[in-house]
Amino acid sequence: MLKKVVLIALPEVAPFEFGVVCEVFGIDRSDSGGPTFDFTIATAQPGPVRTSLGYDMVIENDLSAAADADLIAIPAHHIRGHADGTDPRVLEAVRAAEARGAWVLSVCSGAFVLAEAGILDGRRATTHWMHVDRLRRRYPGTEVDADVLFVQDGKVVTSAGTAAGIDAALHIVRSELGASATNVIARRMVVPPQRDGGQSQYIESPIPECRTDSLAGVTDWMLANLDQDLTVDQLARRALMSPRTFARKFRAESGTTPAAWLNRQRMLRAQQLLEQTDEGLEQIAQLTGFGTAAVMRHHFVRVLQTTPTNYRRAFGARVAG
C-alpha cells in the first residue's frame, strides 16, 4: 500500500517539477474522498537548498526519512557537466529504495540521478527529449525511449518534462489505489486523470491555429459509444475526413493513435465499473467494448499486470467500504 512518500530536494532543483510531486502527494484530499499520504521533503544536507531559479528553499529533514518510504521521488534539477555529481547519500537512498521494492519516481532530468545510482542499468527509461541524447551517451546500459511520456520498468518510473511528471505520479497512484482515488486528485488539479505513458512527448500541433470542434465532437461520441465496434473509417466519416487524414490529425493533436486512445478509454471505464459496481465481468466487457471477459482480461494483464478479478478484489471493496 502506498502511504509514505518522500521527495528528495537536490541542489539546483527545478521548482515546477518539484511542485508537481508536492501537488500530487502532499495535499490532504480526504474531504473530497481522495487519499492522504504521509508526505516528507528531505535532502542530504538539511538547511538551504538552492533552486534552479536562484532562490533557496529551507529543507529540515535529512535522508533518514527515506529509509522506510513506499515511494521516493527525484524531481528535475540542473544537470552537472560530469557523471558523478550527486551526493552519495542520495544515490544510496535511491539504491536502498529500489532494493527493498519501493517505488522510485523521477521527473525530467531526475532520471540522471537514478542512472547514476545504477538502478537504470538494463532497464527502459525516459527523460525530457532535450536530455535524451546525453542520457544515452552517459549511460549506454539504459534503453532510453525518447518518444513517450513516462516509462514503468518494475517499480521504477521515469518521466519526461513537466506535465509528464503529473502523468507518471498519477500512474503510480492508480496502480496502488485505483482509478477512483486517482480521479479525485486529477479533478482537484484540473488535469486529465490518465494520459497513457506511451503517448508521444512531442505533439505536432497541441494548439492548432484554426481550432475546430471536429475532433472534440468525434472523441465525445467515441466515449459515449465505447460498447460499439469503432473503426477509423467510421470515425473519419463522422469527422468528414478521409481515414488517412483523420488518423494523421488525431495523432498530431493527441499524441497517440485513435485505436490506442480508444483502448485506453475502455480500460479506464472498465476500471471504474469494477471499482464502483457489482456488474459481472462479461457485462462490463460488453459495456466497454472489449466484447468478452477473456479479451478484457488480456488487456488488463498487458497494461496493468493484473486480472479484472484481482483488480476488483483490490479496489472494489475499498471503494464500497
Helix crossing, 243-254 with 258-276: angle to 10°? Answer: 60
Question: pLDDT (tens digit, 0 to 9) for every residue of the chain, 321 residues total?
Answer: 899 999 999 999 999 999 999 999 999 999 888 899 999 999 999 999 999 999 999 999 999 999 999 999 999 998 865 445 899 999 999 999 999 999 999 999 999 999 999 999 999 999 999 999 999 999 999 999 988 889 999 999 999 987 899 999 999 998 899 888 888 898 888 776 656 555 444 434 333 333 345 588 898 899 999 999 999 999 999 999 999 999 999 988 877 899 999 998 999 899 889 988 999 999 999 999 999 999 999 999 888 888 999 889 888 755 433
What's the CA gap between 200 and 196, in Å, rounded? 9
115-120, long-range: CB within 8 Å, 24+ apart, which pairs?
115/139, 115/142, 116/83, 116/84, 116/85, 116/86, 116/91, 117/86, 117/90, 117/91, 117/92, 119/94, 119/95, 119/156, 120/156, 120/158
Pick the CATH number of 207-321 from 3.20.20.450, 1.10.10.60, 1.10.3720.10, 3.40.50.1110: 1.10.10.60
Per-residue pLDDT tens for 38-66? 999 999 999 999 999 999 999 999 999 99
**Cβ atoms within 10 Å of 321's Cβ, excluding its own:** 5
Pick the CATH number of 4-189 from 1.20.1300.10, 3.40.33.10, 3.40.50.300, 3.40.50.880: 3.40.50.880
Does 207-321 match 4-189 at the fold level?
no
156-159 and 103-107 as β-strands: parallel, antiparallel, unpaired?
parallel
Measured CA to CA in angstroms, residue 217 lies from 168, 266, 276 at distances of 28, 18, 27
Would you list the domain boundaries of the chain? 4-189, 207-321
- For 85, the grid coordinates are 555529481
